[in-house]
């Protein structure tokens, strides 16, 4: 990679950023498309987020930025405007410079929907989905499914009130989508609503191999499809349990790939080199 006076800059703002695979994935995309640009992890503590966004404004050669934990919601008021996707998600994972303004976008939901199609061969329209969790990731998934025509969502969360709050937000934005709430606990069963087509885990449970099961994994049964947003370890405890029960199950690497591909396209206006990006993620 040659850095010169024309090199464009892209950043990942997060805290920490050391674990992220986005730098490898986006740099591979720049290389594959011969783009004179670099993608750098930028560890920004919450106290310095405002200053970091001012720094982005000062960069006339800014290509764009990604935003990750814990800044996705906190960055919203620091930007000039939001896309409808970011507005619905209440969070930003992609910043796009446009004529001197910083536009907040969110490609997580769109990335999730493409991964669902790609890897589990299901369309959101008319789908019944159980979403485990009610945090920021659950919100992006729930909003994208509802806006894409999912017919019913069950939000199952350890803290019921949080799921109730998210349910109210989803129904106020997409009144046609039926949303119900359950409390998630170790004896919760996935087979209580037989019309459910897909179960999505958005909680952080499974990030550590020692995490106890999130619910009764023996209640998983085909043809239920399982999507775990966690991608490290690649065979998450939920993916392993689901496969043992005969369910098709995938980890969150596809969502990571496609949210990154959409971000690349928003910054550059070019189609994302998916094969190179996927290869970099695997590496």
Identify whether 200 is preceded by a cis peptide bond (ω within 30 of 0).
Answer: no
| CB atoms near residue 185 (< 10 Å) | 11
- With respect to ligand ATR, which residue has the nearer C-beta, 6 or 187? 187
Give the whole-angstrom CA distance, residue 183 versus residue 141: 18
Query: DSSP label at 211?
Result: P
Of the chain, the end-to-end C-alpha distance in Å amounts to 18
Among 41, 97, 111, 136, binds ligand ATR (CB under 6 A): 136
Among 31, 48, 162, 173, binds ligand ATR (CB under 6 A): 162
Which of these, 61, 50, 102, 26, lies nearest to 264 by C-alpha position?
26
Quick one: which segment of 36-44, 111-119, 134-142, 246-254 binds ligand ATR (CB under 6 A)?
134-142
Q: Does 149 bind ligand ATR (CB under 6 A)?
A: no
Q: Does 183 bind ligand ATR (CB under 6 A)?
A: no
Give the whole-angstrom CA distance, residue 177 versus residue 149: 7
Residue 241 C-beta: closest distance to ligand ATR, Å = 15
Residue 158 C-beta: closest distance to ligand ATR, Å = 3
Which of these, 66, 67, 61, lies nearest to 3 by C-alpha position?
61
Quick one: which segment of 57-65, 98-106, 121-129, 200-208 binds ligand ATR (CB under 6 A)?
200-208
Q: Does 204 bind ligand ATR (CB under 6 A)?
A: yes
Q: Does 202 bind ligand ATR (CB under 6 A)?
A: yes
Tell me if residue 72 is catalytic.
Answer: yes
Residue 214 C-beta: closest distance to ligand ATR, Å = 6
User: What would the two tokens of residue 63 be?
Assistant: 């290509």
Instruction: Tell me the C-alpha to C-alpha distance, in Å, between residue 102 and each of 61, 75, 76, 113, 193.
Output: 13, 11, 11, 25, 43
Quick one: which segment of 59-67, 135-143, 145-153, 264-272 binds ligand ATR (CB under 6 A)?
135-143
Strand, helix or coil at 249?
Answer: strand
Total binding residues toward ligand ATR, as defined by CB under 6 A: 16
User: For the chain, what percentages of helix, strand and coil (3-state, to nearest 5) are there?
Assistant: 40, 20, 40
Q: Does 90 bind ligand ATR (CB under 6 A)?
A: no
Q: Does 203 bind ligand ATR (CB under 6 A)?
A: yes
Catalytic residue among 8, 71, 72, 258: 72
Residues within the interface to ligand ATR (CB under 6 A): 133-138, 157-159, 162, 184, 202-205, 214
Catalytic positions are: 72
């Amino acid at each position: 990679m040659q850095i010169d006076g024309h090199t464009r800059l892209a950043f990942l703002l997060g805290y920490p950023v050391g674990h992220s695979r986005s730098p490898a994935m986006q740099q591979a995309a720049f290389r594959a498309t011969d783009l004179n640009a670099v993608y750098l992890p930028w560890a920004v503590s919450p106290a310095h987020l405002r200053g970091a966004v001012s720094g982005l404004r000062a960069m006339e050669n800014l290509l764009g930025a990604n935003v990750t934990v814990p800044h996705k919601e906190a960055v919203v008021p620091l930007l000039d405007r939001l896309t409808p996707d970011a507005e619905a998600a209440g969070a930003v994972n992609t910043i796009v410079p446009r004529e001197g303004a910083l536009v907040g976008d969110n490609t997580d939901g769109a990335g999730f929907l493409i991964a669902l199609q790609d890897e589990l061969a299901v369309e959101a329209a008319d789908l019944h989905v159980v979403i485990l969790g009610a945090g920021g990731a659950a919100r992006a998934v729930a909003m994208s499914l509802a806006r894409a025509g999912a017919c019913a969502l069950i939000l199952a969360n350890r803290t019921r009130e949080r799921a109730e709050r998210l349910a109210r937000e989803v129904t106020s934005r997409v009144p046609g989508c039926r949303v119900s709430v359950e409390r998630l606990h170790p004896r919760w069963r996935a087979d209580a609503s037989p019309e459910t087509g897909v179960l999505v885990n958005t909680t952080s449970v499974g990030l550590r191999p020692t995490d106890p099961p999130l619910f009764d994994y023996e209640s998983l049964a085909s043809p239920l499809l399982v999507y775990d947003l966690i991608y490290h370890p690649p065979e998450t405890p939920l993916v392993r349990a689901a496969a043992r029960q005969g369910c098709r199950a995938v980890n969150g690497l596809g969502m990571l790939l496609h949210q990154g591909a959409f971000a690349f396209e928003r910054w550059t206006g070019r189609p994302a080199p998916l094969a190179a990006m996927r290869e970099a993620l695997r590496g």
